Amino acid sequence: MQKIQIYEEEEQLFKKAAALFLTLAERAIQQHKKLYLALSGGGTPDQLYANLVLQKDLLAWQDVEVYFSDERLVPVTDAGSNYYQAAKQLLDQVGHPKEQRYFPNVSLSHEEAAAQYEYLICQQVPKKEGIPCFDIILLGLGNDGHTASLFPHQIGNEIFESLIVPVTAKYKNRPSKRISMTPKMINRAANVIFLLSGHEKAQAVYHSLMEGQDWHIWPASSISGDKNDVYWFMNEAAAEHLEIPVPMKPIVGEKSAPAD
C-alpha cells in the first residue's frame, strides 16, 4: 500500500519520518533479532540522519545490518560514495559496527560489482519466495523521476529479472557508473520509505503515484506497494500536483497540521 504523508514544514517531515523509522526498526529487531536496512544516497536523507543521531539510544545499532539501495563506483573514501556519506552523517555518529556494513566491491568491473553485491545480499539477507527481504529500504526521488540509480530511458526489463543491475547515467555531474537495486528486490522489502521535498519534485511525485505510468520514463512508478508498505514523506510543495483528481494507485493519505 502507498502511504502518503504530507507536511507543511520540512522539520516536521523529517521528525515524523525518524519516528516511523525507529518504530519499524524496533519491530523488526523484536521479530527476528536483526534489522536488515538499505540506505539511500544523495543529500535528501541528511535531515533524517540528523534526527536519528539525536535519538541514537532508542535503537540497538549493534543489531542493524546495513546495505545500500544503490552505490557509485568510486572509492569508499570519495565524497561521491553513498557509503562515505552515510558513514559520515549517520553510522559513525551512532556507533554502528563497521563490520556490519555491506557495500559493493568498487575495485571490480561494473558488471562484476553488481553480480558480487547481488550474491552477497542473497547469502545474508533472509528470503521470501527466493528473494531477499529487507525490513526497511530508504529511497529518494530525482526531479526526473529516478529512484535509487534507476534512471529514465537507461533501464529495461532486466530490472524485473535481476536483483542488482549495473547502470551508467549522468546526473548533476555525479559519477556515472553505478549499481542499483531493482524493483524486483525493492518491492519485496517489508517497508520502503521515500523522502523528498520541494516544488521541483512535484511532477515526479505525480507521475510516480499515478496508475499506468511508463516506468521507462518514470522509474519510481515501478515501486508498486502491492506486497509491502511504501511510505512517501514529502512537504506540501512536492505534493502540489496531487490535488488534481487522477487515477491513483491504492493510497492511504495523511496531511499534517502545521508543526508546533
| pLDDT tens, position by position, 36-81 | 999 998 788 999 999 999 999 999 999 999 999 999 999 999 988 9
pLDDT band, very low/low/confident/very high, at 220 (cuts 50, 70, 90)? very high
Q: What percent of the chain has pLDDT over 70?
A: 91
The yes-or-no verdict on residue 158 having pLDDT over 80 is no
The yes-or-no verdict on residue 249 having pLDDT over 70 is no
Average pLDDT, the chain: 90
Residue 37 class from Cβ within 10 Å (0-12 exposed, 13-18 middle, 19+ buried)?
buried
| pLDDT tens, position by position, 80-136 | 899 999 999 999 999 999 999 999 998 999 999 999 999 999 999 999 999 999 999
Residue type, 216: H
Identify the pLDDT of residue 96.
98
Closest CA to 139 of 218, 54, 222, 232: 232
Class of 8-255 in CATH: alpha beta
pLDDT band, very low/low/confident/very high, at 246 (cuts 50, 70, 90)? very low
Helix, strand, coil proportions of the chain in percent (round to 5)? 35, 25, 40
For range 230-234, the mean pLDDT:
96
Query: What's the whole-model pTM score?
Result: 0.92
pLDDT band, very low/low/confident/very high, at 226 (cuts 50, 70, 90)? confident
- Cell numbers describing residue 87: 558513514
Q: Which residues contact 182 (CB under 8 A, 6 or more apart)?
A: 150, 158, 159, 160, 162, 163, 164, 165
DSSP secondary structure of 103-140: ---TTS-HHHHHHHHHHHHHHHS-EETTEE--SEEEE-
- Cell numbers describing residue 162: 535481476
Q: Which residues contact 31 (CB under 8 A, 6 or more apart)?
A: none
pLDDT band, very low/low/confident/very high, at 204 (cuts 50, 70, 90)? very high
